[in-house]
């Protein structure tokens, strides 16, 4: 762990300014443009009318939440494999953004479901497994806040993240079984071509913002980690008593 | 996906079904999340930078 | 390292846990009592209507087992942590998974003992009869318990060594439990209703698949959890 820590610390100490905030501003501008394009360009839906517009925020949030969870799983796996602190910090950052996106997906799904299906919530496989995903993200973050030792927190949360990732398809499958055995029809998805491009553009815009948020959060985590390391190294040299 | 079938229609659609409240709510919730998280990111960075500066001043930045 | 030696280690860990549990016995009595109490609460919440109680019985039984059993898992590590005995235990030669398997067996015995009281009480309170198909009913109970205890023993290895362990364990455990809970409740309730839809068999097969998956994952991941 020694070398990589020193490199991390050195990189953070020497880097003068983080250039990523401009990417965030760009991401917000792109998101505004994508939403305006989506709202203006697409015709109202035959059944839903303008309610279809909610798709442009709901679906990108859902897709990107999955992506964030994938990042958590991959970074966790790499942490268990290589033991580099950076991977743990990346997993934690992606988990925080992912939890936000999953929560947003659920909220938007409810707002969309009420006028179209007539209910705020239904025990449908996709909905239910998204809710479970949300709970697992939150449990992951709570676990991190309850463990103080760095190595222990990193190792444990990597394991919890991986097992959570393993659980998502299992939950989805079991809930689908639960519902289909009870004879619930699920409608097939057909998306008219006039909606696909606005949807894609919005998904990319949200992805850009998500990437920015994860990288920004990650660099903040590295900064915090560096500050802790400086204090630890000083304590090892016997200077800790000065503070 | 399990949302109802989407198909465009001529004109403005069925006016009675255009629940503007829900659409505005959805976009508003999204933007509250975006702006709120941006503020959180900014604050977290400021706190972390302050901690690093303090650590560097106290411990001299050597590792 | 032969299998026979590993099995001896597993047995030693299990017997050690069970012995300390047997000598105190306070844990088992309290947890069993809590399970019965939860059943009573479900009875009050669902009302005295016999038909409604019978329909909800499977869910109530499993939730009572969940809420009382979850208290047992942290204990399984807590006794060792209090005595500073976990590190010495890990220093013994042999595979780490043997420690997990031993604790798993001890916890399984513990939860089965709790169920031995809680389930008959539930059958009485909720006016349920399992005269026919009791074999299938028992196998569902065993399979559901194995899945529950596997995940519980695994996550308690973390939660017992962190702050606010009482809250953390259910937070980690219950979302992971959903497939097992769903399978167990659905299989139980369709069996209780006479399995008219012939769906209990499918759920039992699914429970077996879940148990194997979670058991393999927990055994593989335990080393990473316990070594820090």
Which ranges of chain B does DSSP label H, i.e. alpha helix? 20-59
Does the distance separating the beta carbons of A227 and B48 come in below 8 Å?
yes
ipTM for the predicted complex: 0.85
The two structure tokens encoding residue C10: 């597993």
How does residue A127 score in pLDDT terms, banded at 50, 70 and 90?
confident
**B46-59, pLDDT tens digit by residue?**
999 898 888 888 77
Touching status, chains C and A (3+ beta-carbon pairs under 8 Å): yes
Q: What is the mean pLDDT of chain A?
A: 81
**Chain C residues touching chain A at CB-CB below 8 Å:** 158, 161-164, 168, 171-172, 174-176, 178-179, 182-183, 186, 197, 199, 202-203, 206, 210, 213, 217, 221, 224-225, 227-228
- Residues of chain B contacting A145 with CB distance shorter than 8 Å: none
**C144-180, pLDDT tens digit by residue?**
999 999 999 999 989 888 888 788 999 999 999 998 9
Residue with structure tokens 């420690």?
C99
- Residue C213: per-residue pLDDT: 92
How does residue C27 score in pLDDT terms, banded at 50, 70 and 90?
confident
How does residue A181 score in pLDDT terms, banded at 50, 70 and 90?
low
Among A97, A217, A226, A82, smallest CA distance to A155 is for A82
How many alpha carbons fall within 13 Å on the CB side of residue A57?
A: 32
Of A18, A107, A194, the CB nearest to B29: A107
Sign of CA dihedral A216, A222, A228, A230: negative
Sign of CA dihedral A31, A37, A42, A47: positive
Q: Is the pLDDT of residue A12 over 60?
A: no
Q: What is the mean pLDDT of chain C?
A: 86
3-class state of residue C194 by DSSP: coil
**B11-19: average pLDDT:** 51
How does residue A183 score in pLDDT terms, banded at 50, 70 and 90?
very low
**Chain B residues touching chain A at CB-CB below 8 Å:** 1-10, 12-15, 17-20, 22-23, 25-27, 29-30, 33-34, 37-38, 41, 44-45, 48-49, 51-52, 54-56, 58-63
- Residues of chain B contacting A233 with CB distance shorter than 8 Å: 59, 62-63
- What Rg do the C-alpha atoms of chain B give, in angstroms? 24
- Residues of chain A contacting B60 with CB distance shorter than 8 Å: 234
Of B1, B19, B27, the CB nearest to A51: B19
Does the distance separating the beta carbons of A146 and C221 come in below 8 Å?
no
Does the distance separating the beta carbons of B49 and A223 come in below 8 Å?
yes
| Chains touching chain C, criterion 3+ CB pairs below 8 Å | A
Q: Is the pLDDT of residue C6 over 90?
A: no
**A197-235, pLDDT tens digit by residue?**
888 888 888 998 999 999 999 999 998 898 888 888 777
How does residue A59 score in pLDDT terms, banded at 50, 70 and 90?
confident
Q: Is the pLDDT of residue B10 over 50?
A: no
The two structure tokens encoding residue B61: 């930045």
- Residue A192: per-residue pLDDT: 67
Does the distance separating the beta carbons of A146 and C227 come in below 8 Å?
no
Domain boundaries in chain C? 3-226
Residue with structure tokens 């969870």?
A69
Q: How far is A224 from chain B (nearest CA, A)?
A: 5
Q: Is the pLDDT of residue A73 over 90?
A: yes
- Residues of chain A contacting B3 with CB distance shorter than 8 Å: 55, 112, 116, 189
Question: Element (H or E) spanning A125, and its range?
Answer: helix A125-146
Helices A55-82, A150-180: crossing angle, 10 deg rounding: 130
Q: Is the pLDDT of residue C3 over 60?
A: yes
- Residue A119: per-residue pLDDT: 81
How is A46-77 classified by DSSP, letter by letter?
A: TTTBGGGGGHHHHHHHHHHHHHHHHHHHHHHH
Of B1, B22, B37, the CB nearest to A100: B37
Q: Is the pLDDT of residue A17 over 90?
A: no
- Residues of chain A contacting C228 with CB distance shorter than 8 Å: 149, 151-152, 155-156
Buried b (16+ CB within 10 A) or exposed e, C35-64: bbebbeebbeebeeeeeebbbbbbbbbbbb
Q: How far is Cα C70 from Cα C177, in angstroms, rounded to an integer?
A: 11
- Residue B4: per-residue pLDDT: 46
- Residue A158 phi, psi dihedral angles, 5° rounding: -60, -45
Does the distance separating the beta carbons of A58 and B33 come in below 8 Å?
no
């Amino acid at each position: 762990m020694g070398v990589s820590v020193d490199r991390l610390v050195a990189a953070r100490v020497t880097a003068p300014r983080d250039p990523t905030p401009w990417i965030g501003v760009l991401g917000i501008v792109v998101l505004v443009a994508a939403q305006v394009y989506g709202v203006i360009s697409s015709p109202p839906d035959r059944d839903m009318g303008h309610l279809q517009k909610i798709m442009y925020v709901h679906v990108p949030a859902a897709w990107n939440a999955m992506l964030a969870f994938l990042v958590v799983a991959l970074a966790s796996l790499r942490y268990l494999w290589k033991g580099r602190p950076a991977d743990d910090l990346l997993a934690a950052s992606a988990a925080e953004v992912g939890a936000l996106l999953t929560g947003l997906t659920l909220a938007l799904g409810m707002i969309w479901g009420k006028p179209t299906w007539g209910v705020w919530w239904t025990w449908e496989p996709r909905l239910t497994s998204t809710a479970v995903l949300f709970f697992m993200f939150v449990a992951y973050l709570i676990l991190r806040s309850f463990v103080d030792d760095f190595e222990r927190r990193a190792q444990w949360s990597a394991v919890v993240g991986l097992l959570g990732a393993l659980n998502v398809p299992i939950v989805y499958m079991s809930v689908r079984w639960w519902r289909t055995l009870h004879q619930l029809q699920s409608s097939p998805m057909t998306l008219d071509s006039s909606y696909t491009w606005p949807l894609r553009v919005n998904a990319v815009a949200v992805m850009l913002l998500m990437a920015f948020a994860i990288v920004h959060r990650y660099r903040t985590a590295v900064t915090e980690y560096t500050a802790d390391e400086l204090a630890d190294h000083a304590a090892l040299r016997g200077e800790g008593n000065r503070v | 996906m399990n949302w109802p079938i989407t198909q465009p229609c001529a004109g403005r659609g069925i006016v009675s079904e255009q629940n503007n409240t829900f659409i505005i709510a959805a976009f508003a919730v999204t933007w509250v999340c975006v702006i709120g998280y941006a503020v959180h990111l900014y604050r977290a960075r400021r706190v972390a930078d302050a901690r690093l500066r303090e650590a560097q001043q106290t411990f001299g930045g050597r590792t | 390292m032969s299998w026979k030696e590993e099995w001896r280690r597993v047995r030693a860990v299990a017997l050690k846990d069970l012995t300390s549990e047997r000598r105190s016995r306070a844990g088992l009595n309290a947890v069993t009592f809590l399970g019965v109490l939860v059943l009573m609460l479900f009875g009050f919440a669902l009302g005295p209507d016999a038909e409604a109680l019978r329909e909800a019985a499977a869910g109530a039984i499993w939730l009572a087992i969940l809420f009382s059993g979850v208290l047992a898992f942290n204990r399984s590590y807590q006794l060792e942590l209090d005595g500073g005995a976990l590190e010495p235990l890990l220093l013994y030669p042999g595979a780490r998974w043997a420690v997990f398997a031993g604790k798993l067996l001890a916890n399984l015995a513990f939860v089965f003992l709790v169920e031995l009281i809680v389930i008959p009480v539930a059958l009485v309170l909720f006016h349920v009869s399992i005269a026919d198909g009791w074999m299938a009913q028992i196998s569902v109970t065993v399979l559901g318990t194995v899945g529950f205890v596997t995940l519980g023993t695994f996550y308690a290895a973390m939660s017992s060594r962190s702050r606010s362990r009482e809250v953390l364990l259910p937070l980690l455990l219950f979302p992971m439990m959903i497939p097992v809970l769903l399978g167990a409740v659905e299989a139980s309730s369709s069996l209780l209703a006479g399995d008219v839809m012939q769906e209990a068999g499918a759920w039992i097969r699914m429970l077996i698949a879940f148990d194997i998956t979670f058991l393999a994952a927990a055994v593989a991941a335990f080393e990473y959890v316990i070594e820090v």
